[in-house]
Amino acid sequence: MASSKALKLRTPIVIASGPGGFGEYLNVDSIDWSYVGAYILKTITLHSKVGNKPPRIYATDIFMINRIGLENPGFDGLKKMIDSGELDVLLSKVPAILSLGGDSFEEYVEITRLVRPYLDKFLAIEYNFSCPNVHHGGLSIMSDREEWKKLLKEIRKETDAFIIAKLGIESGFVEEMAKIVALEGWDGVTVINTIRGLIVNPEGQVLLGGLSGPALYPIALRAVYEVRKVLPDIFIIASGGIYTAQQAKEMLRFGANAVSIGSALFQNEDVINKIGKEIVEFLKSEEKQ
């Protein structure tokens, strides 16, 4: 069954893993951090990754194809950033959630063990099980259902942290995957991740990567609805195509505990202030009723 732990956020607005990196891709002084409940760091894997060769992003008004490939400095790089104080400015402004990924069962377990001494700096850990633009890990881990169940169980044994599984829609109905997560004692889910996409750019290059952006919104909203219907108590972070405060409100209405802003940041990082302000005012008005 799902854990009885609660994740307390000052607001339900979360910055998604990826667009802001470890804070270096954002103008941290331009964001009103009182509107942000948590910042999910860029995914860290056991070993560093250089990611995919350019082009890495193809964007239109209605969708984006991202094929960055989980570029990250690995656990050693994360340790260096923490020990050197490189993350101190960001962590002083907003509570942070660690994001972890892996290329194998063993890597997920090993990085879970390695981050234990640093967990006092983070609210929770989000595990990226559904990244569609890497060759190993993620979706391939979830494709073997019994192995994935064993992995969920092993990670739960290795950490007392509040743990969240980031799920896509391509390994089965997302609500069924979420039920497995809950049965293994996990605390929450993020739904959904990007989904596999393909585009041919103007230069004739075939780009395979993760589809995000406004086109993802109705799929993500349905996923939140279906997960909440079967799991009334699990913590849900809604993710996918959220660009407006109205969309954030709809995600909360249909069962999300928090709403994650991701690809919208590529257009304008002020979207955080606009959505955050309206959501905070909306919640205050709801409390008065």
C-alpha radius of gyration, the chain, whole number: 18
For residue 79, give every residue at least 6 positions away whose Cβ sits within 8 Å of its Cβ, in sequence order, or none. Answer: 114, 118
DSSP character string of 24-60: TTS-GGGS-GGG-SEEEPPPB-SS-B--PPSP-EEE-
Active-site residue list: 131
Shortest CA distance to 171 belongs to which of 162, 161, 163, 180? 180
Whole-angstrom distance between the N-terminal and C-terminal Cα of the chain?
34
Shortest CA distance to 217 belongs to which of 178, 280, 260? 260
Answer whether 210's CB lies under 8 Å from 193's CB. Answer: yes
* Residue showing tokens 């050693």: 76
For residue 119, give every residue at least 6 positions away whose Cβ sits within 8 Å of its Cβ, in sequence order, or none. Answer: 98, 125, 159, 161
